[in-house]
């Protein structure tokens, strides 16, 4: 407890235990009035909140930066040390020795989608950035051990998913280590580390076209699922087959699976359009033979037999 806190609490105790605050009858009936008063005062002070912790600027404050590249997101979390009049490269940060690429624990980079880091393919996920500064040329590694430099965790190169060459450029003096994303397009960006008078850069590229196509396909599947659910509800619960057929048609257009065709066949049969229903059911049957999850196999087979002679 801080000294000032003790002083405040002591003065408070004296005030609470002032005999002038205790009635004469109470003093007479108390076996030890001072002890009783002190105990009561201590119970009162026990509920007093402790002083807030002292908050001061961190020597290497935490920092975050993120960048969208097409439909992907790349983010970095790091601690930012200052030069503070020191010689950084070759002294504070030794040459030819693995470095955490920041202060405190290892710098973390996260990719929402797979990327090409430098010239190495890297899966989506989070990695520690480990650098190897050198006068002969820098290396930058991505390591799966996010606990590096916490306690005694050593750097293990066998856990690297990428080790690439980086370019270095002389820049105007920058006091604090800073990460930047520059020259960003829909398919690429450049990761820059800047500190003192040096910039270290690694290009990052993403296959935005492939990811966008996958997103479109997923959206179509989601739309088809929504339409089949709507068709089933409107045909069964709401008893509105005309509205149900519109959603069934939309489901087939969005994603022509056996289930979408079977939903449409069911709606058509409810409307008495058995020729069309049987045609849709036959398509569902043919597609279902290629799907191990053809869980309406028996129902489709039965419908094909029953609707054969219906018009």
The C-alpha atoms of residue 281 and residue 262 are separated, in whole angstroms, by 5
- Please determine, for residue 1, whether its predicted confidence score (pLDDT) is greater than 80: no
Cβ within 8 Å of residue 233, ≥6 positions away: 244
Give per-residue pLDDT as tens, 269-279.
999 999 999 99
Give per-residue pLDDT as tens, 131-175.
999 999 999 999 999 999 887 668 999 999 999 999 999 999 999
pLDDT of residue 152: 64
pLDDT of residue 6: 34
Find residue 249's DSSP bridge partners: none
pLDDT above 90 as % of the chain: 79
Cβ within 8 Å of residue 123, ≥6 positions away: 111, 114, 161
The C-alpha atoms of residue 224 and residue 218 are separated, in whole angstroms, by 10
pLDDT of residue 49: 53
Per-domain residue ranges of the chain: 62-206, 210-307
Q: Which of these ranges, 1-5, 115-119, 158-162, 235-239, has the smallest mean pLDDT? A: 1-5
Write out the two tokens for 189: 């960006």
Give the rounded distance of the alpha carbon of 195 from its chain centre.
Answer: 28
Give per-residue pLDDT as tens, 19-46.
444 444 444 444 455 445 555 554 544 5
- Please determine, for residue 301, whether its predicted confidence score (pLDDT) is greater than 50: yes
pLDDT of residue 12: 44
What class does CATH assign to 210-307?
mainly alpha
Nearest to residue 262, comparing CAs of 276, 244, 280, 246? Answer: 280
**Residue burial 191-229, b: 16+ Cβ < 10 Å; e: rest:** bbbbbbebbbbbbbebbbeebeeeeeeeeeeeebbebbe
- Please determine, for residue 215, whether its predicted confidence score (pLDDT) is greater than 50: yes
Instruction: Please compute the mean of the pLDDT values over residues 64-88 and round it to a whole number.
Output: 98
The confidence band for 311, taking pLDDT boundaries of 50, 70 and 90, is: confident
> Phi/psi at 176 (nearest 5 deg)?
-105, 140
pTM to 2 decimal places: 0.75
* CB 140 within 8 Å of CB 157: no
The confidence band for 63, taking pLDDT boundaries of 50, 70 and 90, is: very high
Mean per-residue pLDDT over the chain, rounded: 88
């Amino acid at each position: 407890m801080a000294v000032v806190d003790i002083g405040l609490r002591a003065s408070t105790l004296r005030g609470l235990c002032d005999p002038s605050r205790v009635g004469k009858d109470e003093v007479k009936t108390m076996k030890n009035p001072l002890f009783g008063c002190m105990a009561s005062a201590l119970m009162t002070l026990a509920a007093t909140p402790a002083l807030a912790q002292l908050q001061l600027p961190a020597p290497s404050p935490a920092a975050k930066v993120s960048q969208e590249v097409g439909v992907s997101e790349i983010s970095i979390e790091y601690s930012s040390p200052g030069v503070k009049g020191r010689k950084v490269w070759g002294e504070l940060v030794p040459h030819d020795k693995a470095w955490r690429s920041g202060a405190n624990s290892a710098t973390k980079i996260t990719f929402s989608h797979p990327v090409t880091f430098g010239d190495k393919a890297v899966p989506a996920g989070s990695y520690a950035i480990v650098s190897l500064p050198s006068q002969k040329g820098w290396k930058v590694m991505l390591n799966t051990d996010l606990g590096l430099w916490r306690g005694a965790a050593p750097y293990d190169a066998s856990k690297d998913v990428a080790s690439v060459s980086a370019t270095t450029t002389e820049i105007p003096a920058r006091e604090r280590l800073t990460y930047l994303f520059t020259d960003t397009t829909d398919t690429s960006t450049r990761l820059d580390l800047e500190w003192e008078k040096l910039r270290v850069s690694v290009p990052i590229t993403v296959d935005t076209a492939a990811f966008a196509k996958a997103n479109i396909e997923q959206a179509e599947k989601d739309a088809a699922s929504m339409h089949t659910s709507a068709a089933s509800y409107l045909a069964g619960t709401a008893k509105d087959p005309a509205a149900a057929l519109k959603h069934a048609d939309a489901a087939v257009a969005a994603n022509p699976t056996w289930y979408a065709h079977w939903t449409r066949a069911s709606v058509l049969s409810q409307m008495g359009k058995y020729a069309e229903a049987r045609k849709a059911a036959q398509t569902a049957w043919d597609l279902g033979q290629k799907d191990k999850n053809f869980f309406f196999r028996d129902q489709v087979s039965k419908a094909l037999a029953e609707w054969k002679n219906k018009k």
